[in-house]
Structure 1
Amino acid sequence: MKARAVRLHGANDLRLDEFELPAIKEDEILVKVISDSICMSTYKCAVLGTAHKRVHPDVAEHPAIMGHEFAGEIVQVGEKHRDRFRPGMKFAQQPALNYKGTMWSPGYSYEFFGGDATYCIIPAEVMELGCLMEYRGRAFYEASLAEPMSCCIGAFHACYHTRMGCYEHEMGIMEGGRTAILAGAGPMGLGAVAYALCCDRRPGMLVVADQDQARLDRARSLFSDQARMAGIDLRLVNTAQSADPAGALRALTGGAGFDDVFAFAPVSAVVELSSAVLGRDGCLNFFAGPMDPAFSARMNFYDVHYNATHIMGTTGGNTDDLMESLDLSARGLLDPAVMVTHIGGLDAAAEATLRLPELPGGKKLIYTQIDMPLTAIEDFPAKAAEDPRFGYLADLCLARRGLWCPEAEAYLLEHWTR
């Protein structure tokens, strides 16, 4: 069958192609993709090409479909999987496969498997690893965003702490402790904040530091009330306004420093600030993946030795993390839409991916079955004059604090076509 997809042909070479999908094998599944959110990791893949660890060396001859944060509906099921999956079933998927020691993943490594597509083929290893699951939620975007949310959830779970004289690690952030998210007002930082306010190991103090005041103001409007109701002391700090950011952040803790610090930007200054604000037994999670394989930053090793500070990093979440995200969303405790600021169709995906660092706002959410220019949610009212449909979308989002929502998705899918 014919499919359209944004495919990687080489470094900085993304093309919206139309091509023939092969017939599925008995251990494969054909799916219709509905939504895919663009990740900064997708940008890194697009600009690096075969220099990226997950991209196969012959991508020029066998271009890879981009996008790994996707959801949709099952169309056809191979004989081997008909006891578990059926046509018409909605699905979510965990792209971090770690298959037989490889780093293969949709959106990087497969010719016919990826999210920026109208249709794609899910290969056997995905089902073998339990990474394809039925999605029973209302909105496809929540299933797409469960993947980036799972990265935040996994980061919280992977932090660890110790006690003097004991060699056992206690996993997770310090419950009731002091947590800081640096460079934390971007889309992934907001996802981490949303999770921190509803997870089962909540901090007593949560500091979100950034240098973009507009982003901090948006975070304040989204989370202040929720933090108050959860009994969490939420502080939003513009580090650009301080001559001594480390001193200012430590002062919020009475000089004790933070139990858990997340560095959400691959910038040396952010990593070094993270090290400087750690308290005793403080855990630094270097969350943001750098593009430079030689990236480095200074860390205080005096504190490593005498104060038991430690550093670790996470990339992606696992299937349990993704299922936790879906469960929290289904129960109304977690709204992953806080990450999303722009909506577009498949025709907008290639340019949006290649320009991602320079585009303002948060996550860019792509609906692959439609054509639509990438449009900021806040610009919907202005667009209504030229296209009344944007007016309806604006009203639906306004009723949800200006956030993308299931009602807006349903309207979009009904009223936009190729």
Structure 2
Amino acid sequence: MMKTRGVRMYGKDDLRLEEFELPEIKEDEILVKIISDSVCMSTYKAVDQGVKHKRVPPDVAEHPVIIGHEFAGEIVKVGAKWKGQFKEGSKFAQQPALNYKGSPYSPGYSYRYFGGNATYGIVPQEVMELGCLLNYDGEGFFPVSLAEPMSCIIGGFHANYHTKSGSYKHEMGIVEGGNMAILGGAGPMGLGAIDYAIHCDRKPKFLVVTDVDDQRLERAKSIITPEEASKNGVELKYVNTKSIEDPVAYLLSLTDNKGYDDVYVYAPVEPLVEQADKLLGHDGCLNFFAGPTDKAFCAKVNYYNVHYAATHIIGSTGGNTDDLIEALEMTSKGLINPAVMITHVGGMNSVIDTVLNLPNIPGGKKLIYNTIDMELTALEDFEEKGKTDELFKALAEITKKHNGLWSLEAEEYLLAHGTKI
């Protein structure tokens, strides 16, 4: 047996940072060391709901589960059954959306010994059986942690569909060379979507990204520029709709009033959904990507257009293993940079406060390093903290070199010089 340190959930809003023992692995299990985990809003939702959440076991008070599902690390010990497929010392990625024999249970929500916010964990056999544990031979750990949210974004692009009159066969994916809108798109997942849209192999011709916050939009524009999009054959336009009297009319005018083939809603706001519906062109697909916590969340839809203009609405959540592989491959080739989503970095000791207060912490993705103790810190605050702390001084200098973004260089420095657990 060995000890691990991790954050476990005992019920609604009940998180505890503890040291506890892991049992010896069985022949069909794998022991892993977990280095990084990015905090997902889905974790906050699970903690906020406790046993009411479909993935949280009813006996969580007696058998607490390790939270976190966007994680990466190294394989420490391989059970006999998997010796030929996995090697000790290699890096791994994992797809948490298991759907094992119809069960909703998933890493980060449901398992006593397997979750992202722990120093060590035991991968259960069903993860390998489903092909959800992947070998990773690329650089760093945070790109793997961010590959999971990127796979959700990619899954959303693959989930959209379009129709052809007289045929009942749908064509999957966005319209290549079409008009696309990402509403509420200057947040972390929106940035990932913009990055993917302009670098994937099935691009729109025109992409408009809206938000109501100038600061978020300016940051997005500085990270993923219209010039970079143009190099890849995409016209990219950022729009703050807050001060526009008639946002729908303005956004439609950008398409010569033809409307949009693919519209993504990245914030669960009723007026935004209704705005998206009005932007759809003929055979337009609206993807409600943002997950609401309100089970009664509703918005008006124009059913005249559903009937006569063939508009349609879908929702997408999560991605499959193929989406994860695509995210990892594009990242390793430098086609996308998941660091665009990261705005905060912290250590294991910051997990509980981060998760419980996640909706109130501004910015994008919060990246956690499990082997480090460090308060959650915004990248933009590194320089100020660096005036009295050599670690942050060095990290500030590194992030400046990378356009203000987190990087492999920053990760390596933190893991080498941060306060070890």
- The answer to whether the superposition gives a TM-score over 0.5 is yes
SS at match of 1:121: strand
Question: How far off is 1:226 after superposition?
Answer: 1.3
The answer to whether residue 134 in structure 2 is matched with residue 133 in structure 1 is yes
1:372-418 deviation digits (Å, cap 9, x = unpaired):
00011111111112211111111111111111000110011001112
Question: How far off is 1:349 after superposition?
Answer: 0.8
Give the aligned partner of residue 26 of structure 2: 25
In the TM superposition, structure 1's runs of 4+ consecutive aligned residues that sit over 3 Å from their partners are none
SS at match of 2:49: helix
TM-score by structure 1 length? Answer: 0.99
* Cα distance in 2, alignment partners of residues 350 and 270 from structure 1: 31
Q: Decide which of 379, 383, 386 is 1:384's aligned counterpart.
A: 386
The answer to whether residue 113 in structure 2 is matched with residue 116 in structure 1 is no
Gaps of 5+ in 2: none
Give the aligned partner of residue 187 of structure 2: 186
* Cα distance in 2, alignment partners of residues 382 and 171 from structure 1: 48
1:6-58 deviation digits (Å, cap 9, x = unpaired):
11111111111111111111111110000000011111111111111111111
Percent of aligned positions with the same letter in both sequences?
A: 61
* Cα distance in 2, alignment partners of residues 138 and 333 from structure 1: 14
Question: How far off is 1:231 after superposition?
Answer: 2.2
Alignment of 1:189-204 (within 5 A): 189-204=190-205
SS at match of 1:86: coil
Give the aligned partner of residue 275 of structure 2: 273
* Cα distance in 1, alignment partners of residues 17 and 388 from structure 2: 26
Q: Decide which of 310, 313, 332 is 1:311's aligned counterpart.
A: 313
Question: How far off is 1:243 after superposition?
Answer: 2.0
Whichever residue aligns with residue 218 of structure 1, its letter is R
Whichever residue aligns with residue 298 of structure 2, its letter is S
Alignment of 1:220-299 (within 5 A): 220-224=221-225, 225-299=227-301
* Cα distance in 2, alignment partners of residues 325 and 8 from structure 1: 29
Gaps of 5+ in 1: none
Give the aligned partner of residue 146 of structure 1: 147
Whichever residue aligns with residue 228 of structure 1, its letter is S
Question: How far off is 1:259 after superposition?
Answer: 0.2
1:99-140 deviation digits (Å, cap 9, x = unpaired):
111221111111111001111111000000000011111110
Question: How far off is 1:291 after superposition?
Answer: 1.1
1:251-272 deviation digits (Å, cap 9, x = unpaired):
1111111000011111211111
* Cα distance in 2, alignment partners of residues 264 and 105 from structure 1: 24
SS at match of 1:147: helix
Q: Decide which of 329, 332, 335 is 1:333's aligned counterpart.
A: 335
* Cα distance in 2, alignment partners of residues 102 and 251 from structure 1: 47
* Cα distance in 2, alignment partners of residues 273 and 354 from structure 1: 31
* Cα distance in 2, alignment partners of residues 79 and 147 from structure 1: 28
* Cα distance in 2, alignment partners of residues 86 and 67 from structure 1: 24
* Cα distance in 2, alignment partners of residues 283 and 78 from structure 1: 46
Q: Decide which of 358, 369, 392 is 2:360's aligned counterpart.
A: 358
Alignment of 1:49-68 (within 5 A): 49-68=50-69
* Cα distance in 1, alignment partners of residues 317 and 338 from structure 2: 19
Whichever residue aligns with residue 300 of structure 2, its letter is R
* Cα distance in 2, alignment partners of residues 412 and 181 from structure 1: 34
Question: How far off is 1:209 after superposition?
Answer: 0.7
The answer to whether residue 67 in structure 2 is matched with residue 71 in structure 1 is no
Question: How far off is 1:223 after superposition?
Answer: 1.3
* Cα distance in 1, alignment partners of residues 79 and 300 from structure 2: 52
* Cα distance in 1, alignment partners of residues 60 and 112 from structure 2: 8
SS at match of 2:414: helix
Give the aligned partner of residue 344 of structure 2: 342
* Cα distance in 1, alignment partners of residues 124 and 306 from structure 2: 44
SS at match of 2:122: strand
* Cα distance in 2, alignment partners of residues 245 and 350 from structure 1: 39
Moved more, 305-314 or 380-389: 380-389
Give the aligned partner of residue 94 of structure 1: 95
Question: How far off is 1:199 after superposition?
Answer: 0.4
TM-score by structure 2 length? Answer: 0.98
Question: How far off is 1:345 after superposition?
Answer: 0.1
